[in-house]
């Protein structure tokens, strides 16, 4: 039965509750759109790799596998800290949650710094998006992914501020839970980008 | 819900009670946001219409006249971009959808009211950027095919950003509707008790959410081509222009159903009310909306029959295209079956619904001509196509929108429209529309290509006829808008339920109270029991507590 309050989709209060159905359905729908956004790029990748297999093989050797692997570890770790943050907020452990959110933010920063090092190295060698199709794909795919990381960092910062003001707690945990799904998604996209671009070319 | 409960609403403040700029600009009320969308999209309908009149005026005579060919290219691109992206895609979902989805399912608002307002502002930002880019002459047509669009001096990059924002707004709206329909239905409103407009909007939202990201990435890639010289779509750089077309139509074909499905939803609401009969084949209509949405994703290739795509692909896409006609036919037959032996009341909403059925049948059947691989090769990019999509979009969607505007005008504004003016407008618009667009079918078969600023003299007769038709059409539309405007001030006060409708929005006062429902109603049956014993007589409706 719908309640008569403004937020009629809120579940009755308990010790801790999951994010409301509407919030979860909303974020999953949003992630479906994100998947389709990247889907276009993966389609383009498949098409051009089919057209120019040798070019792709030769060019991908210029990417730094160690840096790519390091970034994979960094991003996976940030997904872990994010998961711990969600567990913490559900158990009303504010301090742990705060710490984990900040760790996630820091790791995201590390990821971007490593990406910056890679890109500037490429530019120094005279490699640009217009060099050829492979590099076009590389810069657009990692660039769009990087933008998602930047967006995620902005939301993380906002979450940290809200947590300080006690606007996020066991009673009202939806923002952290919903953001967690987004962050795992950003991680997941990288899990595909890394082998496609760095390992198999 | 009892009559006392209905009456109790009367002394509550309606949603229009607060005045002033801030009360609109910062509102979280889905009804106000819907009204803001309505004004915005209708503004572009009128602006795009004026551009169309200019284009037709130029085509009155075969030779050079009025403005240069380049100006002609710019004008038809502006006409297309405005009508498609700023009017017809958002028109029904964002305005009437926003206003009526919560009312029809018995909710106080959409699931995410703040997101709703945000998506309106994202839409506005998109409009500003889009219009900004249109000021620099845009000459690609609304499809901005590569590689030309990657090279032209026009402000394509700005346009892509603008359309990206407009698309984002429509994704947010669609997402909001999906969650709203899933989570906020009133107690007792099972999926099969939902009004058909809700089914239509649900299918529409699914298409919006699943197709728009693809155009978003396409626009981003096009921007990357222009800004960084990436050559995904440029054969000179090893890219493939066909990839652009596949991406573009993977979005743009399903979006055709974003344009038409909501209109079909409106027709499904209007017809049973004015035929005083239960809708025939409720489940078939509901499922056909989903089927159209699903099949709509499989047929994009029929826009590319002459693009150099493989013949096998062409045959497959042609075959799949015919499939869309099946659920569409199901809907039309069900509407006609509902009309059969109904006590038909020819009030203005019903007239528009009948115009919809008539014109959309012509639009739909000529779609089959275009879907047939061999015929399409002959009429591709001729005026036949122009006629076809104007019959489906203007003859279909816009007539559906008009039906919805006349049907729900009393609910939105609290005033009745002048029926006589409404009928005069109808008597001008429907014939005017046919005089404008029917000759184009013949022109197309005779071989006149679209997008020509000048044409051989043998096409003059029909072109002149079409231009004259556009004036009749315009006169009717002016009268209609005068009626809308005039009734706001001088219209009779609308009762809660002027058409004796059974759906929930009619059970609350006109205009609706700010909170929609004082007590969320409990639903016991579907809303289409017209003409049965429990039919709504003198204000008493069937939903007895």
Report CB contact under 8 Å: A21, B187. Answer: no
Q: Is A147 on the interface with B (CB under 8 A)?
A: no
Q: What is the Cβ-side half-sphere exposure of residue B437, based on CA atoms within 13 angstroms?
A: 25
- What's the pLDDT at A5? 39
Distance of CA A60 to the CA centre of its chain: 23
Q: What SS3 class is residue A144?
A: helix
pLDDT tens-digit profile of B341-398? 999 999 999 999 999 999 999 999 999 989 888 888 889 899 999 999 999 999 999 9
CA of B28: which chain A residue's CA is closest?
A6
For B449, the 3-state DSSP assignment is: strand
**Backbone phi and psi for residue B106, each to the nearest 5 degrees, phi listed first:** 75, 40
Q: What is the residue-averaged pLDDT of chain A?
A: 90
Q: How many helices (H) and strands (E) does chain B have?
A: 19, 0
Flag whether residue A128 sits within 8 Å of chain B, measured between CB atoms. Answer: yes
Contact by Cβ (8 Å): B331, B288: yes
The whole-angstrom distance between B210's CA and the closest CA on chain A is 6
For B316, the token pair is 């497959």
Distance separating alpha carbons of residues A176 and A161, to the nearest angstrom: 12
* Alpha-helix residue ranges (DSSP H) falling in B59-112: 69-81, 89-90, 98-105
Residue B143 is predicted with a pLDDT of 82
pLDDT in tens, B160-205: 899 999 999 999 999 999 999 999 999 999 999 999 999 999 999 9
Identify whether A48 is preceded by a cis peptide bond (ω within 30 of 0): no
Per-residue model confidence (pLDDT) at position A20: 87
B108 contacts on A by Cβ (under 8 Å): 6, 8
In whole angstroms, give the CA distance from residue A137 to residue A96.
39
The two three-digit tokens of residue B203, written as one number: 């299918």
Q: How far apart are CA A199 and CA B429, in angstroms?
A: 63
Confidence of residue B70 (pLDDT cuts 50, 70, 90): confident
Query: Which ranges in B229-303 belong to alpha helices (H)?
Result: 241-275, 282-296
CB distance A40–B171 less than 8 Å?
no
pTM: 0.91
Q: What is the pLDDT of residues B114-133, one digit of tens each?
A: 999 999 999 999 999 998 88
Q: How far is B161 from chain A (nearest CA, A)?
A: 15
User: What stretches of A52-93 show up as alpha helix (H) in DSSP?
Assistant: 53-60, 65-90
- CB contact at 8 A, B392 and B450: no
Q: State percent of chain B over pLDDT 70.
A: 95
Residue B9 has pLDDT above 70, yes or no: no
Length of chain A: 201
- Give the position of tokens 């509750």: A17
Q: Do B187 and A39 touch (CB under 8 A)?
A: no
> 10 Å Cβ neighbour count for A21?
15
- Three-state helix/strand/coil letters over A33-47: HHHHHHHHHHHHHHH
Element (H, E) at B162: helix B156-183
Distance, in Å, from the CA atom of B65 to the CA atom of A156, rounded to the nearest integer, reads 60
pLDDT at residue B260, as a whole number? 95
Name the phi and psi angles at B18, rounded to 5: -75, 140
Q: Can you give the three-state secondary structure of B181-215, one letter per residue?
A: HHHCCCCCCCHHHCCHHHHHHHHHHHHHHHHHHHH
Q: Do A39 and B214 touch (CB under 8 A)?
A: yes
pLDDT at B289: 95
Residues of A in Cβ contact (< 8 Å) with B209: 29, 32-33
- Per DSSP, what are the bridge partners of residue A169? A172
Cβ neighbours of residue B107 closer than 8 Å, sequence gap 6 or more: A2, A8, B101, B180, B184, B185, B186, B516, B520
- Chain B interface disruption, residue of A3, A4, A29, A148, most B CBs within 10 A: A29
For position B1, what pLDDT does the model report? 41
> How many CA atoms, within 13 angstroms, populate the side-chain half-sphere of residue B69?
8
Average pLDDT over residues B530-545: 48
Question: CA-to-CA distance for A85 and A97, rounded, in angstroms?
Answer: 4
Our separate counts of H helices and E strands in chain A read: 6, 0
Burial A45-84 (b: 16+ CB within 10 A, else e): bebbbeebeebbeebbeebeeeebeebbebbebbbebbeb
What's the CA gap between B273 and B503, in Å, rounded? 10
The CA-to-CA distance between both ends of chain B, in Å, stands at: 5
With 80 as the cut, is the pLDDT of residue A13 above it? no
Residues contacting B304, CB < 8 A, separation 6+: B242, B245, B246, B249, B314, B317
Residue A170 CA to residue A181 CA, distance in Å, equals 17
Selection from B260, B161, B152, B139 nearest residue B215 by Cα:
B161
What are the pLDDT digits (tens) for B197-247? 999 999 999 999 999 999 999 999 999 999 998 889 988 888 888 999 999
Residue B130: partners with Cβ closer than 8 Å, 6 or more residues away:
B81, B85, B86, B159, B162, B163, B166
Q: For residue B230, give the chain A residue with the closest CA.
A: A130
pLDDT of the residue at B65: 84
Sign of the CA dihedral running A136, A130, A33, B322: negative
Q: Is the pLDDT of residue B286 over 60?
A: yes
- B373: tokens are 């691989």
Find tokens 């707004």 and name the residue. B169
The reported pLDDT for the residue numbered A18 is 67
Mean pLDDT of chain B: 91
Count of CB atoms situated within 10 Å of the CB of B393:
21
Strand, coil or helix: B93: helix
Which residues does chain A have within 8 Å of residue B109's beta carbon, measured at their own beta carbons?
Answer: 6
**Alpha-carbon gap: A36 to the closest alpha carbon of chain B (Å):** 6
């Amino acid at each position: 039965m719908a309640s008569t309050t403004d937020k009629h989709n809120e579940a009755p209060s308990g010790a801790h509750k999951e994010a409301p159905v509407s919030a979860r359905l909303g974020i999953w729908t949003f992630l479906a759109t994100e998947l389709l956004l990247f889907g276009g790029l993966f389609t383009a990748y498949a098409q051009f790799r089919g057209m120019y297999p040798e070019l792709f093989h030769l060019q991908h050797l210029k990417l730094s596998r160690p840096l790519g692997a390091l970034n994979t570890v960094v991003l996976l770790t940030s997904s872990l800290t994010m998961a711990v943050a969600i567990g913490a907020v559900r158990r009303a452990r504010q301090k742990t949650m705060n710490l984990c959110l900040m760790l996630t933010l820091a790791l995201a920063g590390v990821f971007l710094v490593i990406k910056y090092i890679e890109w500037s190295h490429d530019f120094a060698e005279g490699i640009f998006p217009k060099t050829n199709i492979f590099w076009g794909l590389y810069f657009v795919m990692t660039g769009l992914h990087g933008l998602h990381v930047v967006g995620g960092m902005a939301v993380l910062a906002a979450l940290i501020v809200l947590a300080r003001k006690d606007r996020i707690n066991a009673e009202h945990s939806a923002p952290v839970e919903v953001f967690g799904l987004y962050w795992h998604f950003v991680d997941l996209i990288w899990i595909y980008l890394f082998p496609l671009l760095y390992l198999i070319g | 819900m009892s009559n006392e409960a209905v009456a109790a609403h009367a002394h509550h403040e309606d949603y229009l009670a607060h005045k002033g700029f801030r009360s609109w600009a910062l509102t979280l009320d889905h009804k106000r946001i819907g009204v803001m969308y309505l004004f915005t999209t209708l503004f572009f309908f009128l602006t795009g219409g004026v551009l169309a009149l200019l284009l037709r005026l130029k085509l009155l005579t075969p030779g050079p006249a009025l403005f240069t060919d380049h100006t002609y290219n710019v004008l038809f691109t502006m006409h297309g971009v405005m009508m498609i992206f700023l009017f017809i895609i958002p028109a029904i979902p964002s305005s009437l959808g926003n206003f009526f989805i919560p009312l029809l399912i018995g909710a106080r608002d959409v699931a995410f009211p703040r997101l709703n307002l945000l998506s309106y502002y994202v839409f506005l930002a998109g409009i500003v950027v889009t219009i900004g880019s249109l000021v620099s002459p845009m000459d690609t047509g609304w499809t901005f095919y590569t590689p030309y669009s990657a090279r032209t001096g026009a402000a394509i990059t700005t346009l892509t950003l603008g359309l990206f924002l407009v698309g984002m707004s429509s994704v947010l709206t669609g997402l909001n509707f999906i969650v709203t329909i899933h989570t906020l239905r009133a107690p007792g409103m099972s999926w099969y008790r939902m009004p058909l407009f809700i089914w239509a909007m649900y299918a529409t939202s699914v298409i919006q959410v699943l197709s728009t990201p693809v155009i978003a990435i396409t626009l981003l890639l096009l921007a990357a081509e222009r800004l960084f010289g990436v050559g995904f779509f440029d054969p000179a750089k090893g890219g493939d222009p066909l990839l652009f077309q596949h991406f573009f139509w993977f979005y743009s074909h399903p979006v055709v159903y974003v344009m038409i499905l909501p209109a079909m939803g409106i027709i499904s609401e209007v017809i049973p009310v004015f035929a005083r009969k239960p809708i025939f084949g409720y489940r078939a209509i509901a499922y056909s909306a989903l089927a159209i949405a699903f099949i709509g994703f499989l047929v994009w290739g029929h826009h590319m029959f002459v693009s150099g795509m493989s013949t096998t692909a062409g045959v497959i896409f042609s075959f799949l295209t015919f499939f869309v006609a099946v659920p569409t036919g199901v809907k039309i037959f069900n509407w006609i079956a509902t009309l059969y032996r109904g006590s038909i009341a020819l009030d203005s909403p019903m007239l528009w619904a009948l115009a919809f059925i008539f014109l959309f049948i012509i639009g739909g059947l000529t779609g089959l001509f275009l879907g047939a691989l061999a015929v399409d090769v002959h009429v591709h990019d001729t005026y036949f196509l122009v006629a076809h999509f104007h019959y489906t979009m203007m003859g279909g969607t816009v007539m559906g929108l008009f039906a919805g505007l006349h049907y729900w005008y009393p609910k939105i504004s609290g005033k009745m429209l002048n029926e006589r003016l409404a009928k005069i407008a109808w008597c001008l618009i429907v014939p005017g529309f046919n005089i404008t667009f029917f000759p184009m079918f013949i022109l197309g078969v005779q071989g006149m290509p679209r997008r020509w600023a000048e044409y051989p003299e043998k096409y003059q007769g029909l072109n002149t006829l079409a231009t004259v038709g556009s004036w009749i059409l315009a006169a009717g539309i002016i009268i209609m808008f005068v009626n809308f405007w005039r009734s706001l001030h001088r219209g009779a006060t609308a009762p809660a339920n002027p058409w004796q409708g059974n759906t929930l929005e009619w059970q609350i006062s006109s205009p609706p109270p700010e909170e929609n429902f004082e007590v969320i109603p409990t639903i016991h049956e579907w809303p289409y029991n017209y003409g049965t014993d429990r039919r709504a007589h003198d204000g008493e409706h069937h939903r007895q507590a």
